[in-house]
Amino acid sequence: MKKIIKYVSIFLVIALIIMQFIGPDKNQSGYESVAYFENETKPTPELKEILRSNCYDCHSNQTIYPWYAEIVPVSYWLSHHVDEGKEHFNVSDWEQYSAKKRDHKLEELIEEVEEGEMPLSSYTWIHGNLDTEEKEVLINWANSLRLKYK
């Protein structure tokens, strides 16, 4: 039994070392990926900062990765979060969304922020959470923007 545990342990260590060199693809296409969204929605400088520091990492094609994103298995965990975030709402795809879909995405944004579901608690552990004023700014902006797409 001890030999099996030893061999399994050695295998796992070797697998982790190999995985370290074969990490997931990065989600980094640059600022231009959010340019259309920002030109279309015209966020204030304060709101741009809120979006950039709390939303774009998981909801655009422009993730800014922290140092720990290079460590396996954290890199795969982060990659999964980014993929899932983009699946639900990707501002880099804003140009392809219909007016109805834009309205729906903004409605979901409002719900998630009001309910405290966004940003994710796993994100806020390190990056901090939106304070009450920032939530209010984001929700008011999204509500006023929804009028444009109805």
**Side chain identity at 133, as an amino acid letter?**
E
With a cut of 50, which residues of the chain have pLDDT below it? none
Kindly report the backbone phi and psi dihedral angles of residue 50, in degrees, each rounded to the nearest multiple of 5, phi listed first. -60, -45
DSSP, res 29: -
Question: What pLDDT score was predicted for residue 57?
Answer: 86
Q: Collapsing DSSP states into helix, strand and coil, what is residue 28?
A: strand
CB atoms within 10 A of CB 106: 22
Q: Tell me how far apart the alpha carbons of residues 50 and 26 are, in angstroms, rounded to a whole number.
A: 22
Q: Helix/strand/coil (H, E, C) string of 74-115? A: HHHHHHHHHHHHHHHCCHHHHHHCCHHHHHHHHHHHHHHHHC
Task: Give burial (CB, 10 Å; 0-12/13-18/19+) of 120.
Answer: middle
Question: What pLDDT score was predicted for residue 127?
Answer: 66
pLDDT digit string (tens) for 101-110? 999 999 999 9
